[in-house]
């Protein structure tokens, strides 16, 4: 009896391990972001660029979004719209290491959102 159950569990685990979440997004990321409704159109554009960037990094690193960049930090980036790495240093929760690794890309995404 135990061997039968074990076989069933192993078979089901094998099937489930092949299932991947649907990665095709056909709607903007900001629609799922809590505080987005309070933002003006330019800030929404910046938010969307930052959220897309975070999603790409999270997928590449196989990490949850919040482990890449937290929502509070994203909202602060959208609020101040930094133009240099130095502008990022004042954001609580952004470590020097994170700024060193992702700062240039974050600045670029802000610029893209504003253009």
Domain boundaries defined on the chain? 39-115
Mean local confidence (pLDDT), 68-81: 94
Q: Which CATH number fits domain 39-115: 3.10.50.40, 1.10.150.80, 3.40.50.2000, 3.20.20.70?
A: 1.10.150.80
Q: Which residues contact 4 (CB under 8 A, 6 or more apart)?
A: none
pTM of the model: 0.75
Instruction: Say what percent of the chain tops pLDDT 70.
Output: 84
pLDDT tens-digit readout, 11-53: 776 766 665 555 556 777 877 878 888 889 999 999 999 999 9
Q: Is the pLDDT of residue 59 over 70?
A: yes
pLDDT score for 25? 64
Report how far residue 63's alpha carbon sits from residue 61's, in angstroms, rounded to the nearest whole number. Answer: 5
Average pLDDT, the chain: 85
């Amino acid at each position: 009896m135990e061997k039968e159950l074990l076989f069933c569990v192993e078979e089901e685990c094998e099937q489930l391990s092949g299932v991947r979440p649907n990665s095709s997004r056909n709607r903007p990321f900001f629609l799922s972001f809590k505080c987005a409704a309070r933002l003006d159109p330019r800030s929404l554009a910046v938010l969307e660029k930052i959220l897309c960037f975070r999603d790409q990094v999270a997928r590449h690193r196989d990490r949850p979004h919040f482990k890449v960049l937290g929502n509070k930090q994203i909202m602060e980036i959208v609020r101040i719209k930094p133009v240099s790495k130095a502008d990022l240093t004042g954001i609580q929760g952004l470590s020097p290491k994170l700024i060193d690794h992702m700062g240039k890309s974050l600045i670029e995404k802000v610029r893209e959102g504003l253009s």
